Structure 1
Amino acid sequence: MEQINMIKVHSKDYSLNSTVKIESEKVDLLNLGFIIKRFRVQRGISRQTLAIKSSISIRYLAELESGRGNPTITILKNIAYALNLTLKDLLFSKKNNTKVDLIKSKVDNYNNNQLKEVLNLLDNFDKKKPKKINKNKVALIGLRGAGKTTLGTMYSKDFKVPLYEISSEIEKAGGMKISEIIELGGQGMYRRLEFQVINKLLKKNKKLIVLTGGSIVSEKETYNFVLENFYTIWIKAKPKEHMNRVIKQGDLRPMGSNPKAMDDLNNILKERKNLYLQADAIVNTENKNKNDSYKDLKSIIIN
């Protein structure tokens, strides 16, 4: 007979105490660790920050993310709350079994010849995709420090095209700062406003350039909407350049008291790379000054 563990859950995510059935043979600790790490990286949260917010040690969180931890329901509840998720979303969300994850799990054990065949199939698929001709509506994606604001502003001034920074537009729509929006309504409220703002700007302008937040690629519905309705360009840089540029702007928060900030940034970029690669074009700002990078951007848009 299949073993069922009955666990009482006390959480802000539920109006009443709920009984959650966790089927032991379906709850794979390795998969659970992968899910927690993916949600953490997608949100740009360091392991240290999540550990503090969840009231657990960094070492234990590392064990849990590697699939070796055996968490109590209270720990899972704390982690879910720190990630702005319900416990149900963390454990049973359909998003936890995406097609991308399934593909990754299959190719992990492929040999070099098999991987070459997969790459050839993907290359052929990409060649069949219709190329976008209309470049009147441009979206710049990428992590903070890549150069989105600098390059977007240069293009806006050069061609008299209105420029919108999505984070600023979200604050206008919400009537408060981003941090307050998330504190009040969590990631859900922030993402709803993000989609509404982008949709409104799209309908309002015949020509525009928008600067998106680095984590927009983690929100599937909104990111797909951007990919379908904008000519999307990934402004790319090396992790060290991202960090140095942000610090050069006078913001020391990325480093903070976290000695592993660069490791976290590397993990975020690694996690999001395939999503960023879905853009229509790439401007690589690595080891380039702003004028050279702008030439690349302008060439892509006007040609």
Structure 2
Amino acid sequence: MSSTILHTNAGPSQESTPLNSLTSLRDVADGTERNPFLTALGERVRALRSRRGLTRKAVALASDVSERHLANLESGVGNASILILLQVSLALQCTLAELLGDITTASPEWLLIRELLENRDEATLRRVRAAIGEMLGTGGDNAQCSSRVALVGLRGAGKSTLGQMLAEDLDFPFVELSREIEKLAGCGVAEIQSLYGMNAYRRYERRALEETIQIYPEAVIATPGGLVSEPATFNLLLAHCTTVWLQASAEDHMKRVVAQGDLRPIAASSEAMQDLKNILAGRAAFYSKAKFNLDTSAQDLPATFLELRQFVRQALGMQG
């Protein structure tokens, strides 16, 4: 493979685009200032090469990248393509994530822990995660059933309907986390996302959950469908709530959303259904971390509620 894919910056760029408040990747070293990301990347390449005890020439031969381009990369002025970085990582016998500065490669302890966990099955990883939570005092993974019952699942699964019924039956407060997010932000969910972006929405979501946990020792909580996509927030939920995944078929999700008055899915027709199926497939592995799972498409609403009521009351040690 030609090494011309990796090139050095030769002069100042015509425009500047910030990257996390750092110098733009298009900005070039002019002898006095270098791009911080490229500088740090070069330092990691050099450190990894030293750790492996390899000369630059040996890495060049193994990666099929010229010594000159490797020298530019290590000095922080080589702006490499992703394929070149992959070749270099293979030559250095490290992951691409380690080369790019993933936090789990930041110290020997991180690396040793990661090595212990590599290739472990999901059940083992789950036990390890719960044990770490207990050790750090952040709570385990539903280690003891909490009187906060959190319903997770995609929109249209029945979280609001079943959640209100369950809260009334248990005589617990019912908390719809989306409404709490809107109270904190002073505007609707759609406005938060359009005005401030998804990162801001996720911060409000985390804060709303933290406050709900602090305020309510007992509650039924209906969570937003995308909460599981933020690991820190989902960890918090798993540690402090008895979680139930309300699962439904893609067709039922769609019908229920439309029945709620949201006609947007109809406009996209088959594309909307495929998108919904893709989201379900992408989140299923996270939803399945819940302590309980209930298929709300399998039977009618009264029968579904009775099943939910039964295993929640049993989990909480309540009669009835």
Please name the residue that 2:61 is paired with: none
1:202-250 Cα offsets, whole Å, 9 max, x none, are: 1111201111111111001001110111011100001111001111222
Query: 3-state DSSP class of the match of 2:149?
Result: strand
1:61-118 Cα offsets, whole Å, 9 max, x none, are: xxxxxxxxxxxxxxxxxxxxxxxxxxxxxxx6949x9xxxx9xxx99xxxxxxxxx95
Query: 3-state DSSP class of the match of 1:140?
Result: strand
Please name the residue that 1:255 is paired with: 266
Give the Cα separation in 2 of the matches to 1:251 and 1:130. 35
Gaps of 5+ in 2: 27-37, 39-78, 88-99, 106-113, 132-139, 315-320
Give the Cα separation in 2 of the matches to 1:265 and 1:132. 32
Aligned residue runs from structure 1 range 188-203, under 5 A: 188-203=199-214
Please name the residue that 1:208 is paired with: 219
- Residue 140 of structure 1 and its aligned partner are, at CA, apart by 0.4
Give the Cα separation in 1 of the matches to 2:255 and 2:187. 29
Give the Cα separation in 2 of the matches to 1:189 and 1:202. 20
Q: Given that residues 139 and 212 in structure 1 are in contact (C-alpha distance below 8 angstroms), is that contact kept between their aligned partners in structure 2?
A: yes
Task: Give 1:18's match in structure 2, choosing from 19, 24, 47.
Answer: 24
Please name the residue that 1:31 is paired with: none
Q: Given that residues 137 and 206 in structure 1 are in contact (C-alpha distance below 8 angstroms), is that contact kept between their aligned partners in structure 2?
A: yes
Query: 3-state DSSP class of the match of 2:286?
Result: helix
TM-score (norm: length of structure 1)? 0.64
Amino acid at match of 2:275: D
Amino acid at match of 1:257: A
Task: Give 1:150's match in structure 2, choosing from 142, 154, 161.
Answer: 161
The answer to whether 1:177 aligns with 2:188 is yes
Amino acid at match of 1:245: R
1:171-222 Cα offsets, whole Å, 9 max, x none, are: 0011111122122321111111111111111111120111111111100100
Gaps of 5+ in 1: 29-91, 108-116
Task: State the percentage of identical aligned residues.
Answer: 31
Q: Given that residues 184 and 208 in structure 2 are in contact (C-alpha distance below 8 angstroms), is that contact kept between their aligned partners in structure 1?
A: yes
* Length, aligned pairs only: 226
Give the Cα separation in 2 of the matches to 1:269 and 1:207. 29
In 2 relative to 1, CA 231–216 (structure 1 residues): closer, same or farther, beyond 3 Å?
same
The answer to whether 1:264 aligns with 2:275 is yes
Query: 3-state DSSP class of the match of 2:204?
Result: helix
Amino acid at match of 2:85: K
Query: 3-state DSSP class of the match of 2:264?
Result: coil
Task: Give 2:245's match in structure 1, choosing from 231, 234, 247.
Answer: 234
TM-score (norm: length of structure 2)? 0.61
Query: 3-state DSSP class of the match of 2:262?
Result: coil
Bigger shift: residues 7-16 or 233-242: 7-16
In 2 relative to 1, CA 231–13 (structure 1 residues): closer, same or farther, beyond 3 Å?
same
The answer to whether 1:289 aligns with 2:300 is yes
In 2 relative to 1, CA 119–219 (structure 1 residues): closer, same or farther, beyond 3 Å?
closer
Amino acid at match of 1:157: E
Bigger RCO of structures 1 and 2 (CA < 8 A, at least 6 apart): 1
Q: Given that residues 135 and 301 in structure 1 are in contact (C-alpha distance below 8 angstroms), is that contact kept between their aligned partners in structure 2?
A: no
Please name the residue that 1:4 is paired with: 7
Q: Given that residues 140 and 234 in structure 1 are in contact (C-alpha distance below 8 angstroms), is that contact kept between their aligned partners in structure 2?
A: yes
Query: 3-state DSSP class of the match of 2:267?
Result: coil
Give the Cα separation in 2 of the matches to 1:180 and 1:249. 19
Query: 3-state DSSP class of the match of 2:156?
Result: coil
Please name the residue that 1:222 is paired with: 233
Please name the residue that 2:108 is paired with: none
Give the Cα separation in 2 of the matches to 1:123 and 1:94. 22
Root mean square deviation, CA, Å: 3.7
Give the Cα separation in 1 of the matches to 2:213 and 2:252. 31
Q: Which is greater in Rg? A: 2
